[in-house]
Structure 1
Amino acid sequence: MTDFCDGCRNGARLDFDFTMAFQPIVDLGSGRVWGYEALVRGLDGAGAGAVLSKVTPENRYRFDQACRVKAIELAARLFPDDGTRLSINFMPNAVYDPAACIRTTLLAAGRTGFALDRIMFEFTENEPMVDTKHVEGIIAEYKRRGFITAIDDFGAGFAGLKLLANFQPDLIKIDMDLVRGIDTSPARQAIVAGIMGICRELDIAVLAEGIETQGELTVLRAAGVSLVQGYHLARPAIASLPPVGEAMRVQVA
């Protein structure tokens, strides 16, 4: 196996701790939980912003790696043994060498018995793409390892259609700003319809995040979106899996 990279050996150690909250991703077709996104939280319940404010250029790599390990360890303990996926956010600019930087993740998955094909790595478009080719290399390496790959916040960031043209992930998450109020916005409906058409042609799955109302959910379902996430379905729960009774009732004839 590839050795650890310089970032792992030399990165500043973290002087703070954190945990993860889990928010379900629901498959509307089956009415079942498809997976859970791991969201960083403070040990006292503080939101992601409070934790991320402690991340610096010096400790960014250590933090990225620690998030992966924490998410996998908790998922292995909490998730049912039925193929439920774990979605982990990562920072592309914190990955030095894709093959070397994945070693910590592989070790955590192997130690806990969590299958690699149940892990989805999503990166946000909101982080500037300093080197698009580097990002494409990360996606290629992760796909080669058997991970699911995803673009988060699609339609609101730096790479967008250019990245999609150069390399196709397994899944994209439509940005919540396009979801918010889509039931009363013909413009948002047209944009989402366009995204759906592109993704059908490229065989890419689509997930809509940030759903807060039944109206938004109804319009997105009609548009062909099958994977959904948001407060209307379930709020994140810290170090536990939230109830998804409402999510199970959203599948309608």
Structure 2
Amino acid sequence: MECNNCSVAELKFDIKLEGETNLSLMDMIVHHLQRRDMEITRKDNRLLMKEPGAQEFLDFCLHLMEPERVQFRIDKGEWNGIEEMEQVFKTEWIDEVIRKELLVCHYQPIVTANEEIFAYEMLARFHHEDGTIIYPNEIFPAAKSRSRLYALDRVCRMAAVRHAAVLKDVKAFINFIPTSIYSPEFCLRSTTNLANELGVDPRQLVFEVVETEKVDDIEHLREILAFYKKKGFQYALDDVGEGYSTIELLADLKPHYMKLDMQYVQGVAEDAGKQKTALRFLEKALEVGSIPLAEGVETKEDFEWLKERGYQLFQGYYFGKPAKEPQKISIVGA
């Protein structure tokens, strides 16, 4: 049975009121919503209700209460100011995207120093039911505002595994958001089951941590990566930020691959500062036994510089843009 985070269940709002004026209006609010057949529960200075009730409450709050003394949260998430509730309602469209799985995966090649395809990264592309494109900078903030990050992350992972099943003799890099996962054993079970059903060799899949440097709970990340390792999968860190600055921690996580972010790749052949970062990154990767991968390669000069220093894998428009079908390498200018 799926939890609310796996599926697109109806949102539950927990609204906290403070201040004499707001507290004096609680009974009236409860009676009003009950008259309209809306479910509402009162617990001390808090009101628990579903989305229709929250929409009704917001209008009343902004006009007749002290909104600066009202907070809300969704499904036991973080508390937010009431002024942010409108954004939750405006992004309801994300529910349909997730429920109907309105996305496809594109393949972007990852190549070796010999310019041979080593893997493809599976990149989700979202769209509305009418076919109009939804960009990543729209989809993820919308999912976060409605506490749908796990549900979105799950459908992306499942779609990526299905698309990876067509690949032969090369790996598939699949992104995931570690902060959206509550319990690896529970939340990742459907992903591993699907891979088994499709006959995908676990060694073919590389699960890539999205926004590595923003992960605060290292122990939780360690548990997720240990789960993947136990199931036979590999994993990658997409960037090594301040939270991963020590060799000891990297050695503990033991990533199979470490990605150098494109901001240090593009123009590295001519930029001494980027060169210093790239070399330090390379040294760390090799020291902990990880394969260094440079992403965002767009020119021959940057590719040659990184290759000569010892980078082993490369990704970027220089080799090929994301495409609906796995493409052979098409070197820019070749």
TM-score using structure 1 length: 0.85
Give the Cα–Cα distance (whole angstroms) in 1 for the partners of residues 317 and 113 of structure 2: 15
Q: Deviations over 1:39-67 (max 9, x none)?
A: 11124454432433431352111111111
Given that residues 178 and 209 in structure 2 are in contact (C-alpha distance below 8 angstroms), is that contact kept between their aligned partners in structure 1? Answer: yes
Give the Cα–Cα distance (whole angstroms) in 1 for the partners of residues 141 and 327 of structure 2: 26
Mapped pair 1:218 → 2:216: no
- Give the alignment partner of residue 137 of structure 2, picking from 35, 49, 67: 49
Given that residues 8 and 95 in structure 2 are in contact (C-alpha distance below 8 angstroms), is that contact kept between their aligned partners in structure 1? Answer: no
Matching residue of 1:242: 327
Matching residue of 1:19: 104
Matching residue of 2:116: 32
Matching residue of 1:198: 284
How many percent of aligned residue pairs carry the same amino acid? 29
Matching residue of 2:148: 59
Given that residues 299 and 318 in structure 2 are in contact (C-alpha distance below 8 angstroms), is that contact kept between their aligned partners in structure 1? Answer: yes
Q: Deviations over 1:145-196 (max 9, x none)?
A: 1111110033xx4522244254221110001111121001122212211222
Give the Cα–Cα distance (whole angstroms) in 2 for the partners of residues 45 and 143 of structure 1: 35
Matching residue of 2:22: none
Give the Cα–Cα distance (whole angstroms) in 1 for the partners of residues 9 and 250 of structure 2: 31
Residue 8 of structure 1 aligns to a residue in which SS? coil
Specify whether residues 211 and 73 from structure 1 end up closer, same or farther in structure 2 by C-alpha distance, changes over 3 A only: same
Q: Deviations over 1:193-248 (max 9, x none)?
A: 122222222111110000111111011001100100001110001x312331328x
Q: CA deviation at 1:125?
A: 3.4
Matching residue of 2:6: 8
Given that residues 18 and 41 in structure 1 are in contact (C-alpha distance below 8 angstroms), is that contact kept between their aligned partners in structure 2? Answer: yes
Specify whether residues 126 and 201 from structure 1 end up closer, same or farther in structure 2 by C-alpha distance, changes over 3 A only: closer
Give the Cα–Cα distance (whole angstroms) in 2 for the partners of residues 73 and 227 of structure 1: 24
Give the Cα–Cα distance (whole angstroms) in 2 for the partners of residues 183 and 71 of structure 1: 34
Question: What is the aligned length?
Answer: 239
Q: CA deviation at 1:6?
A: 6.7
Q: Deviations over 1:73-96 (max 9, x none)?
A: 12213x2x22x1111111111111
Mapped pair 1:231 → 2:317: yes
Larger mean CA deviation between 205-214 and 58-67 belongs to: 58-67
Gaps of 5+ in 1: none
Given that residues 5 and 148 in structure 2 are in contact (C-alpha distance below 8 angstroms), is that contact kept between their aligned partners in structure 1? Answer: no
1:66 partner letter:
V
Alignment of 1:1-253 (within 5 A): 7-8=5-6, 14-16=95-97, 17-29=102-114, 31-43=115-127, 44-56=132-144, 57-77=146-166, 79=167, 81-82=168-169, 84-125=170-211, 128-154=214-240, 157=241, 159-162=243-246, 163-237=249-323, 239-246=324-331
Specify whether residues 124 and 42 from structure 1 end up closer, same or farther in structure 2 by C-alpha distance, changes over 3 A only: closer
Give the Cα–Cα distance (whole angstroms) in 1 for the partners of residues 218 and 280 of structure 2: 24
Residue 42 of structure 1 aligns to a residue in which SS? strand
Specify whether residues 67 and 127 from structure 1 end up closer, same or farther in structure 2 by C-alpha distance, changes over 3 A only: farther
Q: CA deviation at 1:38?
A: 0.9
1:8 partner letter:
C
RMSD across aligned positions (CA): 2.3
The higher relative CO (CA closer than 8 Å, separation ≥ 6) is in: 1
Q: CA deviation at 1:4?
A: 6.2
Give the Cα–Cα distance (whole angstroms) in 2 for the partners of residues 151 and 49 of structure 1: 21
